[in-house]
Amino acid sequence: MHPGHPGAGSDEPDEPADDEPTGALLPPEDRVWRHPSELYPAPAPRASARGGLLATWAVALVSGLIGSVLTIGMVAAAGGFSNDGAGPMLVRETVAPPVPIPANFSDPAGVVAIAERVAPAILRVSARTPAGTSSGSGVVFRSDGHVLTNAHVVDGARSITVVLSSGDEHDAELVGADPVTDIAVLRIQGEGDGPYPTAVLGTATYLKPGQAAIAIGSPLGLVGGPSVTVGVVSAIGRRVQTQDGPTLLDMIQTDAPIASGSSGGALLDGRGAVIGITTAVAVSGQGTEGFGFATPVDIARDVADEIIATGRAVHVWMGVHGSDVDRVMARQLGIKGGALVQEVIAGTPADTAGLREGDVVVSVAGRSIESISELVVTLRSFRPGERVPVVYLRDGRRSEVTVTLAERPADL
């Protein structure tokens, strides 16, 4: 996958609570697990030039730890996925829904604190391919050296090198890549190295346009550590047409500048939690449009977990191609929107269930569908073999069928 931007229509690539601790806790530096309050110290108040006291926004006292995922070792699988044996238990931390953050970052010292905290987990990725060397960024999200980056950064790579913010250089192996979401997972190689500094993965579920956003990456392969830019979340749920690959769905749009080479870096919220993996920059015939896009971290995390466990990501589909219902049709049908079925592929789940060209899908498993993108994104939460109720309109009449989902063909 490569940078690009929105297309009008889209084919459908249908795609533990912890026990209370007993006894005194070890010092933070001796623990894999950190409470978010240890990761997000609030900056001290500072006096303004007018003698008043600026109201400082908290660089995050997180209300609670949503959950921890314990991963023991890795499962070996075919296709470039290898494992030399089980490793120690690792903890991936997530954070609570974001509190409102002023979009203008009234306390610049807070941005500095976030950058200093997250920078050690941002690295530069160099992939050597038959066509040359491509450069991008990566985010260390597990202390054993697992890294999130873009699939297009490492596409066709014969060897991969990563450079940490400290300047240390390491070889890295490609654990797996998913072109559908433009997410890839690397693992840093090196005897006796680690644990590595990690970024805290948050959630994009509660994002709203206007919220603060910080982009951090390694643009243009420059030495000297990551670069930091500041902006806001400009929009959510964007559909981005890439230059040479499939359409990216449910993307975060930001005006925080994302330079070439920053692909695979982190988009952070106002507390420093990762909300997305930067992927694409909007361009036109006149050049860069000044805003970029990021894959929501919730999607990136799910894809990464599957890749680590099995070596690949699995996507479901119904077996239809479609587009958004336009305003005229929506008005005629009395709906806000829907996914218009333009083709039903023979022998697929949709065909078996009785869906036909011209049907308008308006609901899947009780979730409202107002576009083809919403249909695809909704299906991502299911697994092959699951049966889901699909509500559709045909000739203005509402009907329901049950569709048994299948795995999306790899060559689609």
Q: Which residues are catalytic?
A: 152, 182, 263
Q: In the 8-state DSSP scheme, what is residue 77?
A: B
Distance, in Å, from the CA atom of 125 to the CA atom of 160, rounded to the nearest integer, reads: 7
| H or E element at residue 128 | strand 122-129
Q: What is the Cα gyration radius of the chain?
A: 22
Distance, in Å, from the CA atom of 287 to the CA atom of 278, rounded to the nearest integer, reads: 19
235: its two tokens: 């929009």
Q: In the 8-state DSSP scheme, what is residue 265?
A: -
Contact between 238 and 287 (Cβ < 8 Å)? no
DSSP notation for 340-404:
EEEEE-TTSHHHHHT--TT-EEEEETTEE--SHHHHHHHHTTS-TT-EEEEEEEETTEEEEEEEE
| H or E element at residue 95 | none
Distance, in Å, from the CA atom of 165 to the CA atom of 119, rounded to the nearest integer, reads: 7
Going by C-beta distance under 8 Å and a sequence separation of 6 or more, which residues neighbour residue 381? none
Going by C-beta distance under 8 Å and a sequence separation of 6 or more, which residues neighbour residue 168? none
Task: Supply φ then ψ for residue 39, to 5 degrees.
Answer: -90, -25
Distance, in Å, from the CA atom of 385 to the CA atom of 363, rounded to the nearest integer, reads: 19
143: its two tokens: 């202390």
